[in-house]
Chains A and B, each alone.
Chain A
Amino acid sequence: MYSMIFLGVASFALSLILTPLFRNIALRLKLVDEPDNRRKIHKVPIPRIGGVAIAAAAVAAYGLLFVSRLNGGSILRAGAPFAIHLLPAAMVVFCVGLADDIFRLRPLYKLAAQIVAAILAWNSGIHLIAIGGRDLPVMLSFVLTIIWIVACSNAMNLIDGVDGLATGVGLFASVTTLIAALFHHNIGLAFATVPLVGALLGFLRFNFSPASIFLGDCGSLTLGFLLGCYGIVWSEKSTTLLSMAAPLMVLFVPLADASLAIIRRFLRQQPIFGADRGHIHHKLLSQGLPPWRVVLILYGFCGLAGVAGLILTATQVQYHGFVVIVVILAAWLGIQHLGYSELGVAGKVVFGGGFHRLLNAHLNLAKFEQELMATETVDEIWQLLCRDSCDFGFSGVELRIDDEVRLTKGSLGWKIRVDFPGRGYINLTRAIGSRDPSSAGVMFVDCIERVFFKRLNELRPRRSEVPVYAEAN
């Protein structure tokens, strides 16, 4: 226990000492994040290699423990397989993050490096071996482990958008993991988490709003990677599907933010790896909240999710379902208050009958198009128009072809006119306040413009346009 306290205090103190040191070095080397007055909210260049200070503090704390007289060194040596074998994988993520902070790498290269690191982690024994007490096949275990670790790394990277947010979220996750590790008597996991807690706490002093140093990709990617790996080690003790959700709860805020970003970009057909101002923290900032308040709100959610995770891991199975229901309802409420228009519109389309109306309109249109192509006379086309136009929200039709006018009684409303050059036109009237989907009406007009004119010319070409062929002798 003393070794653990020593490790935590040492990493905290070292972080307090090393962070300003690395901040000054970064300023001298111009390794700074320049403000862009668009997506970034800081006004002056700020050093972005804070991850180096955290890593240095954590590693140095381990070093101090090794050389100290405390028996933690021997405990650490005994539990070394987990911590030391994970080191190469963590180094890969850290180096790629650092390279991105210095040179700006392409997202695909970063992703490839994260996958390599996740494979190394799998190789070092980080395996998602079972779900809900059932053993997974090796291949599935491998794929799920890689996906989980890469998802955690990127989620933590994506949430690093406001001063102190990623560091605080990481701190909450580390503390929760540490408590769970102590509860499960998992000394290896506790020893792996303690220096992270200390180093993050020390770093938060400089990273909280207004920040004088940023975590950087080297910090956020490595933090997400380590927490993902720790989550897998934690989940090894879980026997049911719901208790496996505990490590997920710990990273609930970053994972929810990443999932929302993917869903939003998919719905808008935007590149998944692109940057935008639609993350949870951006939404809260756009509601006029100051950065420190946004961060505190999200800390609150992380705290609640952490408590839910601990309840899932420490209590009887009977509570688990209820805890998960409460967390889902809280997340739903939170997402509703963020006011994502993409989700609102998608929800309306799927649950508000919009999808069925659109599907119905497409089916009606396909039928209309088929029947239109099968007509033989203009009168048949007219009857078809009169019959089907109301299905697309039009209350009246006026057709003028070759100076012949056909008219239905229509209520007052706005009109759409489609001209058929040299032949006439069609006027479609849509009643004011019509509740039929207007998109169906547009599709109908588009179909008339495409198919109707073509069919009209096939049926009875204008006299002047009838080709005159020379008669054969």
Chain B
Amino acid sequence: MLKLTSVRLQLLWGILVGTIVLWSLLPYWGNQPRIVGTYFNRDWVHFLAYGVVSILPVLSWGRKTGLSLSIGVAVLATGLELARALVEARSLDVRYIVINILGIAAGMLLALNILTIRSRMSRAGT
């Protein structure tokens, strides 16, 4: 089975951030919102996507760098949402800025919880 090493997590994080940037700024071709909207609630997609993107750096780079990167993602998410106003047939929605930031906060908190459990388990030798 593929082992989730730090390098692989970092690579995955890079790919996910790239995908989010592309997906957010891609001009409207008529299908992409529908693809997501058909199967999932779009609020949850935003929340979960940014949650995952903020968990990965903390788990792979560690507390200090990871949290800084996650905060960077929050800035990027806000910037992307604002930039959507400039893209053809895409619009700015302030609601999503709040949801993205809540997703990033949840991701960071979850990652910190995982790190705490991990360090406790390694201290206990289990």
Contacts and interface: CB of A to CB of B under 8 A. Distances in A.
A319 interface: yes
Interface of A: 315-316, 318-319, 322-323, 325-326, 329-330, 332-333, 336-337, 344, 352
Given A336-B117, A337-B116, A326 B99 contact: no
Interface of B: 43, 47, 95, 98-99, 102-103, 105-106, 109-110, 112-113, 116-117, 120, 126
A336 B113 contact: yes
B102 A323 contact: yes
8 contacts: A319-B98, A326-B106, A329-B106, A332-B109, A333-B112, A336-B116, A336-B117, A337-B116
B106 A344 contact: no
Chain A binding surface, main DSSP class = helix
B99 A325 contact: no
B109 A322 contact: no
B113 A326 contact: no
Contacts of A322: 43, 47, 99, 102-103, 106
A326 B109 contact: yes
Contacts, number: 39
Nearest to A337: B116
Interface SS majority for chain B: helix
A333 B98 contact: no
Contacts of B110: 329
Nearest to B47: A322
A332 B113 contact: yes
Given A336-B120, A352-B126, 5 more contacts: A315-B98, A318-B95, A318-B99, A319-B98, A344-B120
A326 B106 CA distance: 5
A325 B43 CA distance: 14
A323 B98 CA distance: 10
Contact of B109 (A316, A323, A329, A344): A329
A293 B87 CA distance: 48
B24 to A, nearest CB: 19
A319 B120 contact: no
Contact of A333 (B95, B99, B116): B116
A337 B99 CA distance: 27
Contacts of A333: 109, 112-113, 116
A316 B93 CA distance: 14
B113 A318 contact: no
A319 B99 contact: yes
A319 B102 contact: yes
Contacts of B105: 326
Nearest to B105: A326
Contacts of B126: 352
Contacts of A330: 109
Contacts of B112: 333
The 9 closest A-B pairs by CB, nearest first: A329-B109, A322-B102, A336-B116, A326-B105, A326-B106, A333-B113, A325-B106, A333-B112, A322-B47
B78 to A, nearest CB: 16
Contacts of A332: 109, 113
B48 to A, nearest CB: 10
A336 B117 CA distance: 8
Contacts of A352: 126
